[in-house]
Amino acid sequence: MAEKKPKEAAEGRRERKRRQTRDRIQQAAMTLFLERGFEETTVEDIAEAADVSKRSFFDYFPSKEDVVFAWQDTFAQHLMNAIATRPSDEAAVSAVRHALIETVVIAADQRALAIGDLVNRTPALKARDQLKYAKLEQKLAEALEARSRSQEERRRMRMLAAVVIGMLRVGAERWKEEPKGASFEAFARSLFADLWTMLGELGEEARASTD
């Protein structure tokens, strides 16, 4: 008599198949969006390219917009993972800098730039795009708070997350002015250098104003 597979293993296989199907839908959709345009691509087109039914598409994504923003959510997960792997005794500002630069270098490839351009020229996507920064701030705050040992330190980490994601928002606009072929890593490092310089100067101004 054949030995029965553990239930957990069977569930793992099902979950793996679901992830594979979701990834296939997502990759097919993003390819079509970049080739044809977002508005010109239908759910039927995506389902056919991914070899799934239209009903199956909606099992994984409520709308076409959700496909694009689910793809963007991977950046937040990469960032959280990068924070988690930093040494526990490393200063928070150093951990954030290293983790964010690592994530930007991994995530900011040519396909990511093309998707960013797609979002910027598609009103239905651009209006929702700003929500990603709120999600990123929340995820970064959670990752930093997990490293904190006190309530006061957790409050400081939430403030740090807000500042860093604000920098990313500004950086996304500044990147558009960079010459073609510019280094993502060098750009990210310069953003952090500018941030710490600015915060130091603002701190000096604040102290001087209270004298």
What phi-psi label fits residue 86: left (phi over 0), alpha (psi between -120 and 50 degrees) or beta? Answer: beta
CA distance linking residue 119 with residue 133, whole number of Å: 14
Residue 39, φ and ψ in degrees, nearest 5: -65, -30
Residues 155-171: pLDDT tens digits? 999 999 999 999 988 88
Residues 26-67: pLDDT tens digits? 999 999 998 999 999 999 999 999 999 999 999 999 999 999
Residues 77-131: pLDDT tens digits? 888 899 999 998 999 999 999 998 888 877 766 677 788 788 888 888 887 877 8
**Residues 6 or more apart from 169 whose CB is under 8 A from it?**
133
Nearest Cα residue to 67 out of 3, 15, 23? 23
Q: Is 128 exposed, middle or buried (0-12, 13-18, 19+ CB in 10 A)?
A: middle
Specify whether 35 is located in the same domain as 83.
no
**Given this model, what pLDDT does residue 211 score?**
62
**Given this model, what pLDDT does residue 109 score?**
66
% pLDDT > 90, the chain? 40
State the average pLDDT over residues 137-156.
91
Q: Are 25 and 60 in contact (CB under 8 A)?
A: yes
For the chain, the average pLDDT equals 85
CA distance linking residue 20 with residue 47, whole number of Å: 14
* CATH number for 23: 1.10.10.60
* CATH number for 93: 1.10.357.10
Specify whether 43 is located in the same domain as 140.
no
Q: Is 98 exposed, middle or buried (0-12, 13-18, 19+ CB in 10 A)?
A: middle
Please give the residue range of the domain that contains residue 124. Answer: 63-209
Using the structure block, give the residue that is written with the tokens 């995506």.
46
Specify whether 53 is located in the same domain as 77.
no
